[in-house]
Structure 1
């Protein structure tokens, strides 16, 4: 990893891939809980982790810690998302993969997803876990409105739209589960590190 300053009280940790991001994100959360790390926010991204509100000397401290192992990570938080696989782009995804529609659904149902980071809209989780060869391109032109609960694929990620919005992901299904509620704690159902299964409705 590479540690870079980001303003007077923040650090950006550059990682080689998503697995290293998740390993460090989990390690930072653990060390914050134990009091070994003073930080107000830990924000993972596709290839970075932002630490905000860090104490002086934190960069030097990070250099002394051994790199955590993604393979050793476990998550007590696992969520099943009841999904109806009726997305209008599902046939195109199956064709891109070179399989039938039922086989494409079977792949999605058996995928072990993990929330890598959140963005785009409140409660929108970018989920890793699909093999690299299953990456699918975004639509050439985004749809002006994607309904809430739509399950989509884009590049190496799977995602679920928490609210209706424009979007260019390839839609493979939908769920009726609520993904974002400002009254809940936390408001987002899917948070970084959560393991997710798409379960046929």
Structure 2
């Protein structure tokens, strides 16, 4: 029984490492600037499709997904990037002004940045599950993030912990950080995806 548990643990670690290496490989294929968005989407879609079945996660399939989602992945990623950049700039300006009203504005801006990051994770997951237009995808992701505050907290806290551990152990940037974020988001939103499937079945 211990042997089986260890085998399962090693398989999960290998999947995390494998997907994270895929992320860096595909990011470099897009010269980082045009590669990060599609690479994140590729890692997300590979895990959604195969979870911890490591033999089914192949470079060939990953490359096909990366090419297919190159433009869409960049659009989604840079929409988030621009949003976070604007919010961060406004936060930078706001923290320089003292007073309770501006403290409340700071809080709202920080929450908006967290909300934007979680919505991005929902967007990647939903896009991996359903064939849906970009406009409707963004609407569904926005609604999904609002629909369950507990899930929003779970994703935000989980990502924060992953980034904190990464800050302590820098090697995770190469071997685990980005894949762990995608896997955690997948795990944290399982109940909501089941709810969506049930509602789609009712309207089928």
State the TM-score bracket (shorter-chain normalisation): under 0.3
| TM-score, with length taken from structure 2 | 0.27
| TM-score, with length taken from structure 1 | 0.28
Structure with greater proportional strand content: 1
Structure with greater proportional helix content: 2
Q: Which has the higher contact order (CA 8 A, sep 6+)?
A: 2
